[in-house]
Chain A
Amino acid sequence: MTDKELHISKIENGTVIDHIDAGQGLNVLSLLGIDGSDGESVSVVMNFVSSLVGSKDIVKVQNRELNQDELDVLSLISPQVTINIISNYEVSLKHRVQRPDCVSGVLNCPNRNCITNSNEPIESKFNIKDEVISCEYCGTHIEDVTQHLA
């Protein structure tokens, strides 16, 4: 890729989330709870054409190193993502995400009558086992994660 073709500039420090399934870039931000309100610089490239994997999305978050637990949540919507931790413009760490056993506070229960959808001081919690995502409280399964992002 030449400089002329670059869509967004390199970041000095932070996290680059690559190989996101095309169209899921904004959902990645939503799952990570990144909305720019903390002042971080965020770039999203959508439907980037890669010769290796076809279309993909890329997210770059400046000056924030996301930890493994935060990033593993992304496996729910895009299992193939790769994480690059950037230090001084160089990739200092590269890894993949793993399916977590449970996630808290990132999904809403589809069951409107679940206690987590009422005015109680608790976070939603979902257990993940054998590809099934089920509410810790009422047992309801989530079929399409993207429809239930918190």
Chain B
Amino acid sequence: MRECLITTKGLTREEIVEVLDYAAKIEKNPSSYYGNQSGKIIGLLFYEPSTRTRMSFETAIKRLGGDTISMGSVEMSSVAKGESLADTIRVVAGYADAIVLRHPKEGAAKMASGFIDIPLINAGDGAGQHPTQTLLDLYTIRKSAEKLDGLNIGVMGDLKYGRTVHSLSHAITKFDSRLNFISPEGLQLPDNVKYDLERSGSEVHQYTNLDEILSTLDILYVTRIQRERFPDEEEYRKVSGQYRINNKTLENAPKHLKIMHPLPRMDEISPEIDGSDHAIYIEQSHNGVAVRMALLDLMLKS
């Protein structure tokens, strides 16, 4: 396994499958992996809020017998005094065996990895990438559909700024599945992501209306349309309303369609969907522990 995980772009199909297979083994009997990373310390540097990513990383290393240290909130650390990321990361690298970093700037994890000699995992860099979310997304898809090839996958919402979308899209290109992107005009995939997907041989199918494609989908991956991306409240309401999933939206959906979401959700998926067979987003977030256990164990072993 590679030393740092910054982006899914460079991951091979084999590397992805290795993590997913190992996570599946762990999920069957997690307690038997306790002690694998006994005494190991993971440094958690979260410059942005997080619930699932942070807590599942903490759970993962503790279930492997290790522990975490954390710089706490940005306001409580030396970051508030203006310390650079380059300095902070070098200091923490002296305290920990690996670092998990979330930062609001694109490219932060890539830069940070150049300053340290221990493994670093990108837990989200601005609107860039979120590779461990993708691994748990793929794990969830494979568990649900029993395959990663031959699927018709819809990705809907804020595709421009959604880092989970960018990472997932790159990773899906390693498999023989079709990607369909559904978003408002101004929130379509960034040109550089689109370029990379096309360069890797994928066709980029873009839609502005979910109804155009819904009946053909196996998976619908929904992301939040962020209010702050719009100049005014009215425009936001108008656009976000078109990308909301409820029972009525799903009238023409295939029975086997599974709906995923990296969470947190606002109002893009109605709670009335939660109890349906379509909804797998809570299970998706639970899968983060097994996948991150697998990743940490593989990275720290090597």
A residues adjacent to B (C-beta < 8 A): 111, 113-116, 118-122, 132, 134-141
Contacts and interface: CB of A to CB of B under 8 A. Distances in A.
A113 B192 contact: no
B86 A116 contact: no
Q: Is the interface of A mostly helix, strand, loop or mixed?
A: loop
Given A115-B105, A115-B110, A120-B86, 19 more contacts: A113-B104, A113-B126, A113-B127, A114-B105, A114-B107, A115-B106, A115-B107, A115-B108, A120-B85, A121-B86, A122-B114, A134-B192, A137-B106, A138-B106, A138-B107, A138-B126, A139-B106, A139-B107, A141-B192
Nearest to B82: A119
B110 A137 contact: yes
Nearest to A130: B199
Interface of B: 82, 84-86, 103-108, 110-111, 114, 125-128, 190-193, 195-196
8 contacts: A111-B106, A115-B85, A115-B111, A119-B82, A119-B84, A122-B86, A137-B106, A139-B107
Rank and list the top 5 A-B pairs by shortest CB-CB distance, nearest first: A137-B107, A138-B106, A115-B107, A138-B107, A115-B105
A120 B111 contact: yes
A135 B107 contact: yes
Nearest to B193: A139
Nearest to A140: B192
| Most chain B CB neighbours (cut-off 10 Å) among A113, A118, A132, A139 | A139
A141 B191 contact: yes
| Most chain A CB neighbours (cut-off 10 Å) among B84, B105, B108 | B105
Contact of A136 (B110, B128, B196): B110
B192 A139 contact: yes
Contacts of A118: 105
B85 to A, nearest CB: 6
A53 B105 CA distance: 45
Given A120-B84, A122-B111, A114 B195 contact: no
Nearest to B87: A121
A107 to B, nearest CB: 14
Contact of A114 (B86, B106, B190, B196): B106
B188 to A, nearest CB: 15
B106 A113 contact: yes
Nearest to B108: A115
